[in-house]
Chain A
Amino acid sequence: MQDLNLLAQDNRGQSQLENGSGLVGWDEITQGSILTSFEGDATEIVNQKSEERMYSNYNSYTASVASWRVEKPVFNIDVCIDCQNCWVWCPDTSILSRDKQMLGIDYDHCKGCAVCAEVCPTNPKSLIMFSEQTALDEALASWPEKKKKEEK
């Protein structure tokens, strides 16, 4: 079973510029409304995994779009063959994979498009769409059986 809070950071969705008494004024914002992506020197950032990076408050990584989703993909680790097909196809880099091992879904950035479930080649599928309210154990308990060849 995957960890539902995988990679979630405390500051997600909290990236407003505040100074104690509310949002800051015109004199405290960035010139040209530019947004910096990382805190500190980012020269080697390409070699770091996302959970190791010092994302700035301006980075969209710290914002959650979970509320856009109506259905969510649920991942079943017992069926997955780590083929990485979902990782390749996901338009929001929300498939979490390390060393070619599928770990789960980044639910802060997944918008529920269902591409991952569509391209999953296993039988039964390792990624299936469930309503947002369905609990993880409930979803896994209702996982379909392997389909026999004549049932196709």
Chain B
Amino acid sequence: MAEKYDLNEREVWDGNFAASQALRQAQVDVVAAYPITPSTPIVENYGSYVANGYVDGEFVMVESEHAAMSGCIGASAAGGRVATATSSQGFALMAEVLYQASGMRLPIVLNVVNRALASPLNVSGDHADMYLGRDSGWIQMDAFNAQEAYDLTLCAFKIAENHSVRLPVMMHQDGFTTSHTAQNVYPLADKAASEFIGEFKPVDDMLDFSRPVTYGAQTESDWHFEHKAKQHKAIMDSRPIIDDVYAEFEKLTGRKYNRVESYLMEDADVAIVALGTTVETARVAAQQLRDEEGIKAGVVAIRCFRPFPFDQVREALENVKCLSVLDRSSPGGAMGAFYNEVSAALYTTASRPLVTNFIYGLGGRDFSIDEAKRIFKEQQAHADAGHITTDIQQFSGLRGPHLGFFQTKRG
């Protein structure tokens, strides 16, 4: 039996510590991990909980992130509750195995502390790794601060392990800005947390000797398509279950989460759509602009990046005149992926608001409140003109001559 860990009603935790405490409270059976900046402290803290007897599960040090996720898959298929953490290059090395986990429908929880991908080498936060996972068949949730990193990691287990879902879940937080910033966090008591997540109930577990199963089958053109379609349906169908888990969490804590988080959107003319800590920056900017200049600014944040909330994005944004979607990942020769997804959702509305794209914050480049205000005001100018007056895709916070691509044909 695990040792009792004393918790205060209010703790000062950074995002990494918050996530590691959620893993401890979940009483994970196996953590197979290979630490990497900036997610190292999640693994390091968890290792200390194991060493000091605060968890009963096993901690497996492996030789790479590829092996970390492979170990997680083995342990999950065997029938245990499984979690790990990674970032950036480690995430990239894990990528091949991520698809194995989701294809085998294994409910692994992966804490991803978002960091840029080399080259050039960079340890700071952007969303390149999160974007790399977007087609991997995992549910992806995004925390904007340490409290959310804690809360949503608890929710991640409950969503992943639901027998109607049975899909792995990535819990994202921004490298350093969330992972290393100490903030007030209100944790649940251990008992309340473990009761919320519930007992792990295995499905098709390999350690059930009365019903041996084979994982990792090969299917060619005759069967592969059907399996991928079934998997896609499962992640699409997880939307109401994610909503249910958020609602149950609200009953327990009073903290309400939504797949799409809207801020000051009731009467907004212009909006910023963003992920991660930028959401909080944009919210401050929106409030200030309303107070100082009367601009009806609002913020739409994506809490659940996969399954992409096509439905709720439409509802949140269809009454806005102009919005900008902020992509914190180098798009490599396209519009930002996030811009494309939001635009596709809005194209199916009657109003079809103007949508612009900013690439920003790569490699941890700071995104300020003033810059968020400037972007809001630019969207107001587009709205007043009735068409996009700048390049559709621009760069925010970039040194050197103006860089932008493509112009509207609606003007």
Chain A residues with a Cβ under 8 A of chain B: 23-27, 29, 31-38, 41-43, 45, 58
Contact = CB atoms under 8 A, between A and B. Distances in A.
B221 to A, nearest CB: 11
B208 to A, nearest CB: 9
Interface in B223-263: 223, 225-227, 229-230, 233-234
Given A26-B226, A26-B233, A34 B103 contact: no
A36 B227 CA distance: 16
Contacts of B226: 24-26, 29
Q: Which of A23, A33, A36, A41 counts the most B-chain CB atoms under 10 A from its CB?
A: A33
Nearest to B204: A34
A140 B209 CA distance: 43
B267 interface: no
Which 5 interchain pairs have the tightest Cβ spacing? A32-B105, A26-B226, A35-B214, A26-B229, A37-B212
A32 B222 contact: no
Given A32-B104, A34-B215, A42 B210 contact: yes
24 contacts: A23-B222, A24-B226, A26-B227, A29-B227, A29-B230, A31-B230, A31-B234, A32-B103, A32-B105, A32-B215, A33-B219, A34-B104, A34-B215, A35-B214, A35-B217, A36-B211, A36-B214, A37-B212, A37-B214, A38-B212, A42-B209, A42-B212, A45-B212, A58-B214
Contacts of A37: 212-214
Contact of A43 (B209, B213, B217, B219): B209
Nearest to A37: B212
Contacts of A34: 104, 204, 213-215, 217
Given A25-B226, A26-B227, A26-B233, A32 B211 contact: no
B373 interface: no
A33 B213 contact: no
Interface in B3-57: none
A42 B215 CA distance: 17
Interface string B104-117: 11100000000000
A27 B230 contact: yes
Contacts of B105: 31-32
Contacts of B214: 34-37, 58
Nearest to A59: B214
B213 A42 contact: no
Given A26-B226, A29-B230, A32-B215, A43 B106 contact: no
B303 interface: no
A145 B105 CA distance: 60
Nearest to B226: A26
Contact of B166 (A31, A35, A42): A31
A32 B222 CA distance: 16
B217 A33 contact: yes
Q: Which of A31, A32, A34, A45 has the most CB of B within 10 A?
A: A32
Given A26-B229, A42-B212, 16 more contacts: A26-B226, A26-B227, A29-B223, A31-B203, A32-B103, A32-B105, A32-B166, A33-B103, A33-B104, A33-B223, A33-B227, A34-B104, A34-B214, A36-B214, A41-B210, A43-B209
Contacts of B204: 31-32, 34
B80 to A, nearest CB: 16
A23 B220 CA distance: 14
Nearest to B217: A33
Contacts of A25: 226
B212 A36 contact: yes
Nearest to B166: A31
Contacts of A41: 210-211
Contacts of B223: 23, 29, 33
Contacts of B229: 26
A24 B230 CA distance: 12
Contacts of A45: 212
A27 B233 CA distance: 10
Interface string B354-390: 0000000000000000000000000000000000000
Contacts of A24: 226
A55 to B, nearest CB: 11
A33 B219 CA distance: 9
A29 B233 CA distance: 13
A32 B137 CA distance: 12
Contacts of B213: 34-37
Nearest to A29: B226
B125 to A, nearest CB: 33
A32 B106 CA distance: 8
A23 B224 CA distance: 13
A43 B104 CA distance: 24
A138 to B, nearest CB: 38
Contacts of B217: 33-35
A24 B212 CA distance: 23
Nearest to A39: B211
A27 to B, nearest CB: 7
Nearest to A16: B222
A38 B106 CA distance: 22
Interface in B288-318: none
A43 B207 CA distance: 11
